[in-house]
Amino acid sequence: IIPNMSFCKVCLLLSSHSIFHILSLCPITVWQLFGCSAAAQVKTSRETKGQFLSVNMAFSVGVMSAMYLTKGITGAHLNPAVTLSFCVLGQVPWGRLLPYCLSQLLGAYVASGLVYLVYYDAIMAFSGGVLTVYGPNETASIFATYPSEYMSLGGSFLDQVMGTGMLMLCILCLGEKRNTPAPSELIPAIVAVIVLGISMSMSANCGAAINPARDLGPRLFTLTAGWGTEVFTCYNYWFWVPLVAPLIGGVLGSCMYLIFIHWHLPDHDPPENLPTISTLSEKVKQPITRWEDGEELKAVHF
């Protein structure tokens, strides 16, 4: 018996909407699996099986893999700060901000749980079975970011604002039609290199979270997995810094790009054979222009 086709179409449409949001979990889950697994390997081996560079490269490869995996379906949304910035710019509808952010947060939480399961024996052997946030055998930093002891709250806040601002500044130029746009198929690899550069140059102070979901999701996991409330109270309740500062930094970086670069570019089209992925330059000709809704930049929603 062949089921009613109209009923099947309705079910498919309803399920595809749900699947869309489920797939929104995938990018950051993949990214976190790469990065936190590398952090666990380096930490529990006491740097005999990897060092600082290993973790940064793993996170970068995770970014690239996650974007290639889902950029054609969900836009590869990995970062609430970037999603918020694109909402401010009019490239993502505001109605999608909360669902995307919740998906990113849940994806980071799930990834942390998977890393914990894979490295459970190593974590227990390294820590002696005591899960702590401080001390030579602490393991909380495998999952979330924590500041160096010399950092103040103000310095940490500035660090995160600067890092996320640089991220948005670099991402926006990739699809600039009137400048030198990057080929669409290379966007994930280029974003990965950008993330690697930021991680290699801005990790010493606070770990270069530059992503609220990347930090809060794992922090919530460690809270529920045995590390206790200290993951939130440590360092004078520092947890809010990587949660709030990247959101501000992303918007500031976007504004800086528009004010100092985008509005000063020549008002002409590039050669026809130059590949582009965005119509950003067609949407903002001057400061008073309103942005239309659209998703032309979905391939660079890191």
Domain boundaries, the chain: 19-264
Between CA 138 and CA 126 the distance in angstroms is 9
Question: pLDDT at position 122, please?
Answer: 98
Between CA 236 and CA 232 the distance in angstroms is 9
Between CA 32 and CA 23 the distance in angstroms is 15
User: Is-contact 232 223, C-beta < 8 A?
Assistant: yes
Question: pLDDT at position 295, please?
Answer: 42
Question: pLDDT at position 175, please?
Answer: 84
Question: pLDDT at position 177, please?
Answer: 82
User: Is-contact 175 296, C-beta < 8 A?
Assistant: yes
Of 203, 209, 196, nearest in space to 164 by CA: 209
Question: pLDDT at position 59, please?
Answer: 97
Neighbours of 12 (CB within 10 A): 11
As given in the structure block, the two tokens for residue 223 are 């809270």
Helix (H, G, I), strand (E, B) or coil at 205: coil
- pLDDT tens across the length of the chain (302 residues): 444 545 444 444 444 555 555 556 678 899 999 999 999 999 999 999 999 999 999 999 999 999 998 887 777 889 999 999 999 999 999 999 999 999 999 999 999 999 999 999 999 999 999 999 999 999 999 999 999 999 999 999 999 999 999 999 999 999 888 888 889 899 999 999 999 999 999 999 999 999 999 999 999 999 999 999 999 999 999 999 999 999 999 999 999 999 999 888 887 655 554 444 344 444 444 443 333 444 444 444 55
Number of helices and strands (H, E) in the chain?
12, 0
Question: pLDDT at position 78, please?
Answer: 92
As given in the structure block, the two tokens for residue 291 are 């942005």
- The residues near 130 (Cβ < 8 Å, ≥ 6 apart) are 137
User: Is-contact 63 301, C-beta < 8 A?
Assistant: no
**The CATH number of 19-264 is which of 4.10.640.10, 1.20.1080.10, 3.40.50.2300, 3.20.20.120?**
1.20.1080.10
Question: pLDDT at position 188, please?
Answer: 95
Question: pLDDT at position 268, please?
Answer: 63
